[in-house]
Amino acid sequence: MNLQVIGCSHHQSNVAIREQLAFTEQQVPSFLKLFYDRFPESEAVLLSTCNRTEFYAAAQKPDLIPSQKEMIEFLATERGLSFSDVNGDLFAHSDRDAIEHLFSVAASLDSMVVGETQILSQVKRAYQLAVESNQTIPLTHQAFQSAIRVARRVSNETDIHSHRVSVPSIAICVLAKQIFERLDNKRILILGAGEMAEETLTYVRSEGGKDIWITNRTQSRAEELAGKFDGNVASWESLEEQLAKADLIVSTTGATEPVVTSAMFDRVEKARNQKPMFVLDLAIPRDIEAEIGDRLNVYLYTLDDLQKECEKNRKSRQSQYPKAVKIIGQETDQFFAELRRRSSGSTIAQLRQQADEAKNAELTRLMNRLEGLSDAHRAEIEQSFHRLVNKILHPPLESLRDDSVNESGSLLDALKKLFQLGD
């Protein structure tokens, strides 16, 4: 398999880079279409979440897959950037390392909050969008279906997901409680009405939050979410008024530009009379302009600020981590063993076909020269040719089967070259 992944995540890229490389779900199909226009023999999947953007590409042959440099240039160009703008902030993995990385991501071992479950649904959705863009992606199909199965195995065989702690839970149950001793007497404003907003509200309610207001550009979605949590709906047009009244603000929209600008906050600040405000910006790209965090009595936290608390979470799950990593290693070995088995099976079939064609050609030539042979003699000659071919092929084919369990695949490659077999 020829598989590559390039991308950025919270591990090595700050929020400024991540938001420049982020994609909305609506932007993914056009990105994939442009990729296939340029690299029609490759396969691709784009995974973009609040903490990572990962671009996977695969191809049957090495010369058909874009290089890592080409992938970085393509991704950067589509985000209006240059190679030099992002190259130092991106990781790149190939083949086994790429598969191991994908399995770790799907199983949430690579997440900011180890054990969170949202990433698996995001991996599934990324694969679904890839299938909708190109129905024939057998290599990435095999990789992503395996990743989903591996994530389930990690969940079933370890406690890494037990008492799971997500980014919203840390934001509300840890950081918000550091600013406010209690939430039952605070006015809480949620910007956005997607999955992150819903999960955040679960923790707001568990911590006693009652005075909840939800605003979203699509009001029907805000009304639906408010109904689940006994909240109130505010029109998007009244955003400034709602900001002026709120104590705790959580922003989770999918906007591509800040929804709360510094200029807007100038007006909001005057109406607040220096009342303390706790702001959680859980969006990528960021919803709240960073300068607002410098204002008096404003406590602004972004996803990057959650990193420290999330690291504590990682350490608390450390006892389960080695077991999960071991599963990832086992599954990666199994994935490539299966690939080699399939590849060797195809090579064996080609070699047998090639030998049978040569055998049949020689038999035809011989039978045409030996006139008057009885049917019994003809059958005996054919059987002798068949046994001879099998005896000649048996040792190399047995060696090939044994070699298929090894990672090198050197014998398979040598056999293809010796007998001029295709992939």
DSSP 343-374: HHHHHHHHHHHHHHHHHHHHHHHHHHHSTT--
Instruction: Find the range with the poorest average confidence among 29-33, 65-69, 157-161.
Output: 157-161
Its CATH architecture, for the domain 2-164, is: 2-Layer Sandwich (3.30)
- Say if 2-164 and 169-313 have the same CATH topology: no
Higher pLDDT, 275 or 350: 275
Residue, of 117 and 230, whose pLDDT is higher: 230
Token pair, residue 171, equals 């934001």
Cα dihedral 35/37/43/47 (nearest 10)? 20
DSSP type of residue 255: -
Confidence check: pLDDT of 351 > 70: yes
The model's confidence at residue 91, banded by pLDDT at 50, 70 and 90, is very high
Rounded Cα distance between 104 and 318, Å, is 15
Residue-level pLDDT at 369: 86
Question: What amino acid is encoded at 117 in this protein?
Answer: T
180 touches 187 (CB < 8 A):
no
Say how far apart CA 231 and CA 214 lie, in whole Å: 7
81 has a pLDDT exceeding 90 = yes
Q: What is the pLDDT of residues 366-403, one digit of tens each?
A: 888 887 888 888 889 989 998 998 888 888 777 776 76
For the CA atoms of 100, 105, 111, 117, the dihedral, rounded to the nearest 10 degrees, stands at: -140
Which of the residues are catalytic? 50
Average pLDDT over the chain, rounded to whole? 89
Q: What are phi and psi of 414, to 5 degrees?
A: -65, -40
Q: SS3 for 213?
A: strand
The residue behind tokens 């303390």 is 276
* CATH 3.40.50.720 corresponds to the domain 169-313: yes
Nearest to 290 by CA among 12, 14, 3: 14
Alpha-carbon distance of 26 to 283, in angstroms, equals 16
What string of DSSP letters covers 319-342?
A: TTHHHHHHHHHHHHHHHHHHHHHH
- Is the pLDDT assigned to residue 154 strictly greater than 90? yes
Is the model's pLDDT at 165 over the cut of 70?
no
- Domain residue limits, the chain: 2-164, 169-313, 338-419
- 274 torsion bin: left (phi>0), alpha (psi -120 to 50), beta (else): left
Q: Is 416 a residue whose pLDDT tops 80?
A: no
Q: How far apart, in Å, are the Cα atoms of 298 and each of 249, 250, 270, 276, 293? A: 11, 13, 13, 6, 6
**Can you give the pTM of this predicted structure?**
0.68
pLDDT number for residue 405: 59
pLDDT at 193: 94
Residue 194 has pLDDT above 60, yes or no: yes
Is residue 166 scored above 80 in pLDDT? no
Please name the residues in contact with 410: beta carbons below 8 A apart, sequence gap of 6 or more. 403
Q: Where are any strands of DSSP class E within 179-254?
A: 187-191, 211-215, 232-233, 248-251
DSSP state of 66: P
DSSP letter (8 states) at residue 290: G
Rounded Cα distance, 231 and 234, in Å: 10
